[in-house]
Amino acid sequence: MAHLTSFTVENFKRFEHFEMQNIGQFNLIVGDNNVGKTSVLEALLVDENSNIVQARFLKVLTEFRNLQKITEPYWHFFINRATLLSGRLPTVFTLGQPEGTTTISTEPIDSGYKWFVNGEHTNVLSLENTVKMKYNGVFRYDGTNSVHVPLVPFAQAYSNGLANIYSAYFQRDEGKDADLMKTLAIMIPQIKKIDVDNATSADAVLYIGQHGQRSTMPLAMMGDGTIHLLRIAFELELHKGKRLMIDEIDAGLHFSRLCDLWRKIILGAAVRNTQIFATSHNWECLEAFKQVLEEPEMREFQIKARCFTLDELPDGTVSSYAYTFEEFEYAIENHIDPRKVIRL
């Protein structure tokens, strides 16, 4: 999957029309609360396979937002609030890539959405009589581990989902496990091994072995920063050559840890050729992003770095403004806040 160079979405959640141009490999999205940063990351979950898109959205709602029952109006409102507000407007995603542009659109129907890729019908999303998704007045998602979502949600600490990910994707494949340990050598070098305990509790538990220590310890007993980095390392390995979205990348971390976080994520993503879209609303996170890219060994990544500011206009629409590294470096050094757009 080629990295995105531009992205446009119409009639998705709060966006009647939203676009990002001049996208890089390492993209930090900033802006005020409730301007739509998380919605942009969710829109970027789009895929040419409509069943994957639906399963991703359902997992976002059920696992990340803890909604066990999703009524049909709620589902349509999540995908496209225009379906409820003004009828049958399609949701349209346009993905700009070096080899060309892909347009994915939807047409709402009774039991789901009819999807088109570049104008050709792909398949109808029906929730009836499927293994992972059921429809009997409400939408349910039962296959938590069968579809993986390339999104690290806001402030998600330890959960048994991490053990499930390791068991499903890495533990039984020596090659993938070896690749994961190479990523961890960059991001969390103190980790020397990972074990899964399925015997002592109802849920699988991850145990971490560290250099210089004889015994392993439960990951849940380690610091939030280590857990956050491990989750991102898992996702980078699962999405090699693809894109990964990270909501509030600095959530729960002390500002003194942010440079280390950015350094490890950029290096890990560079090795795996993963395109990063991360959100934040903190000045310290912006400064750390700039400072890391100024380090001599990191300067080669400056040309691939972008900062996007989301701004809500008086009419309620949202625009994005792209800063190259030189532009947001200049802004920060001159105490110009890239998180806010100055209107004359």
Q: DSSP readout, 234-255?
A: HHHHHTTTSEEEESSTTTT--G
Residue 210 in any domain: the answer is yes
First to last CA, the chain: 41
Structural domain contains residue 3 = no
pLDDT at 135: 41
Q: Which residue type occupies 164?
A: N
In a domain? residue 54: no
H helices present in 82-203, as ranges: 82-85, 160-166, 174-187
Residue at 224 is within a domain: yes
16: left (phi over 0), alpha (psi -120 to 50) or beta: alpha
* Residue 277 lies inside a defined structural domain of this protein: no
pLDDT of residue 344: 45
Of the candidates 188, 186, 278, the one whose C-alpha atom is nearest the C-alpha of residue 289 is 278
Q: Which is nearest to 253 in space by CA: 169, 338, 155, 325?
A: 155
Q: Note whether residue 25 is domain-resident.
A: no
Q: Note whether residue 234 is domain-resident.
A: yes
Spatial distance between the Cα atoms of 75 and 80, rounded to a whole number of angstroms? 8
CA distance 40 to 18: 9
The DSSP bridge pattern shows strands 70-71 and 138-141 to be antiparallel
d(CA 292, CA 264): 10
Residue 76 — φ and ψ, nearest 5°? Answer: -65, -35
* Residues in contact with 181: Cβ distance below 8 Å, sequence separation at least 6, in sequence order: none
Q: Is position 212 within any domain?
A: yes
- In total, how many domains does the chain have? 1
Domain assignment of residue 192, given as a range: 155-238
The Cα–Cα gap between 171 and 285 comes to 34
Rounded to the nearest angstrom, the gap between the alpha carbon of residue 274 and the centroid of all alpha carbons in its chain is 11
Per residue of the chain (344 residues), give pLDDT as tens: 679 999 999 988 888 899 999 999 999 999 988 899 999 999 999 988 877 787 788 778 877 777 766 766 677 777 766 555 556 678 889 999 998 999 988 876 655 667 788 888 776 555 443 434 444 445 444 444 456 789 998 866 666 778 888 888 888 888 888 988 888 888 888 999 888 877 655 677 889 988 888 888 888 888 888 888 888 889 999 899 999 999 999 887 888 889 999 999 999 999 999 999 999 989 999 999 999 999 999 999 999 999 999 999 988 889 999 999 999 999 999 988 888 876 54
Nearest to 209 by CA among 198, 219, 199: 219
Q: How many helices (H) and strands (E) does the chain have?
A: 10, 18
